[in-house]
Amino acid sequence: GCGTGNVCTTAGTCCQPNTNSCGPDGCGNDRGPCVCGWDPQLSHLGCSAGEWWVEFSVVNTAASMQVEISTLTSTRTIALPNRLSLGSGRVKFTGSPGSRLPTGTRVRVKVTQLASAGGQQSTSTWFPYLQGMGVPDCAPACTPSCATGACGVSDGCGGTCGCATGLSCSNNACVCVPSCGANVCGSDGCGGSCGTCRANETCTGGRCACTPSCAAGSCGVSDGCGGTCGPCGAGLTCVNNACVCVPSCGTNVCGSDGCGGSCGSCGAGQLCSGGRCTTGCVAPWSPSWSQGTSAGEWWTEWQVSGGGALTAAVWVERVDTGATWPLSYGWGRWAGGVVALSPGTLVRVHARNALGATARTVTFRYLVDLAPATDACAGTPSTNTTCQALSRGLVSFTFDDSGTSQPDIAIPLLQQYGIKGTFFVVPLWHTWTSLAR
């Protein structure tokens, strides 16, 4: 005999049949036809298939293919990544097995359809590589079918229809079971409620919590939750259950009382400073200040004029560091380099006139406040008490070699102080001797 599990072939040899449920058993017998929902009709391509290169052709609706290789000790899977249309309704899949795949190795092929074609999968029977071709292993596939909301009944595939999470089966129907547990308010999970809170309560985490309620400006009365409304804000005092502002002047005789009123007013010519009336300052020299259009973080320009005297010097002070930068006069403005004065930096501009009087601006934001006012309490008076303005009719001669630029600069200054002047532009080059003649 051939021993357990083996059969005797018509050729008189012993053979171990395969385990396929249909088709050839590998020993000359046939277990009957295989019937499938999708038969991809596998076939070798003999021209290139070999022990180092795998090729199969299938119907054109196939999306991917894998080859399972079974040995006595293991089973491994190789993918065939290359897909090439052959025409005539077929497609070829090719790929390397990674290592030698000897002829006769026990293999089977899995093919997956394109999603647009249904996405089914077909697996062949086991067959000897390069020596035969398996047929589809056609154990009928079953798709469970359950009516919406049905439970406790057959799914048509030997199983039972069930319910989704949070639902229970009652009389073969999935129903929602309210769940409140210890909650006294909020949702019961089924569209209902575990309870409602009172008008002055809020539901938080299934519990009703009291919400304090106080009218605007009230104090010393119940907040509805066992507490008291209040305290009042800064500067307010609780009077007859209402927060009111209490005027506060202390020793101040002028200025605000903190409640929109006044602690008093000052007489004519006086200013209120720190709650005290003081005599206002009068600047000894009050020029006008105007920033130039080319000013920036590293360059500044100013026009400083008026106040009854010519400006002799100008400098810029950075308030937070005390750094100063002197400016030079030219082309009708005072200008010079500064260091990293970004917009909004607090600065002051200082000036001194030809009579020695000084003035400065109030503190202002650089590149933001373009025409600051004079600080009336910061200047110093003239140090030259004998210097007088030029008498009308006095003649002054000035020689310069810069052509018409000097009149362009000087004329506005003369007009500012009401002085008339005549400018003569002498062409070509001259020496002092030639001009004297």
Query: Reduced to 3 states, what is the DSSP secondary structure of residue 93?
Result: strand
pLDDT at 415: 59
Give 170-188 as a DSSP string: ETTEEEE----TT-SSSB-
pLDDT at 138: 40
pLDDT at 140: 43
Residue-level pLDDT, tens digit, the chain, 437 residues: 677 777 787 777 777 776 666 666 667 777 665 545 566 666 665 567 778 887 777 777 767 666 667 655 567 787 778 878 777 777 787 888 888 888 878 777 878 777 777 777 777 777 777 776 654 444 444 567 788 888 888 776 666 788 887 788 888 888 888 888 889 999 988 888 999 998 888 898 899 998 888 888 899 898 888 889 988 888 788 989 999 988 888 888 888 888 888 999 888 777 787 788 877 788 889 999 999 999 999 999 999 988 888 899 999 999 999 999 999 998 889 999 999 999 999 999 999 998 889 999 999 999 999 999 999 888 999 887 665 555 555 555 555 555 555 666 666 666 555 565 666 666 555 555 555 44
Task: Give 125's DSSP letter.
Answer: P
Return the amino acid letter for 18: N
pLDDT at 306: 87
Q: How far is CA 253 from the centre of its chain?
A: 54
Q: Output the CATH code of domain 43-128.
A: 2.60.40
Query: Reduced to 3 states, what is the DSSP secondary structure of residue 211?
Result: coil
CATH 2.60.40.760 correct for 288-365: yes
User: pTM of the full predicted structure?
Assistant: 0.33
C-alpha distances (whole Å) from 400 to each of 359, 390, 406, 425 are: 31, 22, 8, 10
CB-CB contact of 241 with 218 (8 Å): yes
pLDDT at 116: 72
Give 327-367 as a DSSP string: EEEETTEEEEE-S---TT-EEEEEEEETTS-EEEBPPEETT
Task: Give 190's DSSP letter.
Answer: S
Q: Do 288-365 and 43-128 fall under one CATH topology?
A: yes
Question: Nearest CA to 303 among 357, 355, 372?
Answer: 372
Question: What does the block give as tokens for 202?
Answer: 């809020």
**Sequence ranges of the domains in the chain:** 43-128, 288-365, 393-437
Give 22-79 as a DSSP string: SSB-SSS-B------S-----EE-TTT-SSS-EEEEEETTEEEEEEEEE-SS-EEEEE
- The C-alpha atoms of residue 225 and residue 201 are separated, in whole angstroms, by 9
Q: Please return the burial class of 226, using the count of CB atoms within 10 Å of its CB with bins 0-12, 13-18 and 19+.
A: exposed
H or E, element range at 270: strand 270-273
CB-CB contact of 210 with 224 (8 Å): yes
